[in-house]
Structure 1
Amino acid sequence: MQQPHRIFPVLGLGFLNIFLNLIQAPMSFCADDPRYLNCSSTIQCGDLQGISYPFWGLNRARYCGLSPEFQITCNKSAPTITITNQNFRVLRINNASRVLTVARSAYWYNLCPRYLHNTSQVAPFAYTSDTVTDNLTLYYGCPSISSIIPGSMMESSHFTCKTNQSSIVGYVLVKKAGDFTSANLTSIRDYFGACNTSVIIPVNLSAIQDIEANVTLDALKAAIKQGFGMQWPDDDGLCQKCLKSGGQCGQVQNSGEFTCYCRERSHSSSCPGMP
């Protein structure tokens, strides 16, 4: 036979558990800020993994990064960034040094892109100190000229761009450090002034040195695929302060001001409870 006097203590414990659960329920139903959750995700594309602020795109919303120049897209596992209407293939991102290593997408597979344009200004980025911006020039639509310019100032190698109707002759010129003078400039114009157009491509300093040692098309293609560096501005430690407080970095789109997305809502610099 059941002992009636034991039922009441058991029921009392049951009601106590229900009461405690009800007290804790508001905490469990308090959802994280969707912006915090979205900016907690990282960009994954090909070899580029774990990319976060100041970059956005793909699964990261616009408010998780900076200006449109920081948007990353993914084209057949190739991460791409667009600056001043030109596409660059993203090779590496170093948040510690704030350096983005990129290569001109149009020249990734061949030297004969459909549209021939110089690399535009890269603002809001700045070229890194090991980036050479004016030593490598490609000339297109040239007459049949000597493949070697006399003297030690410059060297060149020619290539051909084939189209359905015709073939276009092109030349690669590498300016050697310390040898570019106003007198030599006249010689260059004499040799290449008859070419239809020219394109200057930024490359890494070490790549220029390799081409100087051996001016070949293979060396040129390797230099282009090695890419060059661009650095984005310092934020004076704002993002690091936000991350250390448990938040995620972002930007207020209307004002462009930095914001720290915390679990409950956004704050100007860091999450509550942290300095």
Structure 2
Amino acid sequence: MIIPLLVLLLAFVLRLHPVASTEDLATCSPNACGNLIVAYPFWLEDEGQPPCGSPSFQINCNGGQAFLSRSLFGGYQVLEIFTENSSFIAVDNNLPLDDGCPPWWFNISLGLGLGPYTISKKNSEVVVLYNCTKQQQQVAPPGFSRMGCADESFYRLGGAYGDHQREQSGLPPSCRVAVVPVLGFADGSDYVPSMRQGFLLEWLVASGDCTKCVTSGGQCSYANDGTGFSCNCSDGVPPIDCGEFTELDSAP
């Protein structure tokens, strides 16, 4: 009575992990937004369709440009995604990308909220001193240059992202501090072109099952409630990889 037992076991597995229909998985498949291919764990929001991924990786495609839906003012534009090393490049359009003269400065890390990604240590940093007291405005602190649009503000290029934390006590207490991560310095002197290039982020929470799924010939996606990982195979959606149904069917 081994065969009936296998049938019951397979039915139990399918009940826990029901096969998703093609419609359920349509928006989970890789999609293009302009020149960017949006693929797992990122996904494009589609009005009228159920979520198919973590809200942190939800992408809003606007005019061929991809934006993180759950970022500060929705202004974080995704330029490139590197799924092989769990990283992506983004530009924060909340920054003063035109002239470098914002109404206010802020730390980019705060705009990312509680997302499962961090600013990579591979970035360089632009350190900005602003809202300095009148006494501090008289002279630029060592290593800093005065901003052309604000007498009370100064900036400095250089160093790996995070270096400012080790020298926090050495920064003028009479100024507020903001830090902008950048990939590098476009011309070696101006911070605005550097901000336009964006910065590198790395995500921390990605299913360890994805590699196994792809290796087995499947496609990584989320269940249609946006909370659980699933592997989209040509013959269904088993919980981990495309070999599970075959292994059950061929068991002695």
TM-score, L = length of structure 2: 0.67
Contact 1:54 1:70 in 2 (8 A): yes
Structure 1 residues 240, 103: CA separation in 2 closer, same or farther (over 3 Å shift)?
same
**Contact map agreement 1:43 1:59 (CA 8 A) in 2:** no
Alpha-carbon displacement from aligned partner over 1:28-55 (angstroms, at most 9, x marks no partner):
xxx9632344333x3322332x221100
1:199 aligns with 2:188: no
Distance 2:39 2:238 in 1: 19
Mapping 1:62-81, distance limit 5 Å: 63-65=51-53, 67-81=54-68
Which residue in the other structure is 2:11 paired with? none
**1:228 counterpart = 2:196:** no
- Find the counterpart in structure 1 of residue 173 from structure 2: 189
Q: Which amino acid aligns with 1:77?
A: G
The match for 1:106 is: 94
Let me know the Cα RMSD of the aligned residues.
3.7
Q: Percent identity?
A: 23
Q: What is the one-letter code of the residue matched to 2:88? A: L
SS of 1:120 mapped into structure 2: helix
Kept after mapping to 1: 8 A contact 2:116/2:205: no
Contact kept, 8 Å, 2:51 with 2:225, in 1: the verdict is no
Q: Per-residue deviation at 1:96?
A: 0.8
Between the aligned partners of 2:93 and 2:35, the Cα distance in structure 1 is 16
The Cα shift of 1:79 comes to: 1.6
Unaligned ranges ≥5, structure 1 = 1-30, 161-167
Q: Pick closer, same or farther for the CA change 1:75–1:139 going to 2, 3 Å.
A: farther
Rate the CA distance shift 1:84–1:229 in 2: closer, same or farther, 3 A: same
Q: 1:250 to 1:274 in 2, by over 3 A?
A: farther
Are residues 1:268 and 2:214 paired?
Answer: no
CA deviation after TM superposition for structure 1 residue 236, in Å: 5.9
In 2: Cα distance, 1:148 partner to 1:82 partner: 38
Which of these two proteins has the greater Rg computed from alpha carbons?
1
Deviation by residue 1:162-188 (Cα, 9 ceiling, x = unmatched): xxxxxx655232176589757743xx2
Match status 1:136 vs 2:96: no
Q: How many residues align?
A: 216
TM-score, normalization by structure 1: 0.62
Shift of 1:125: 0.4
Summarize deviations over 1:67-96 as a string: whole Å, max 9, x none: 212111123332211445353121211111
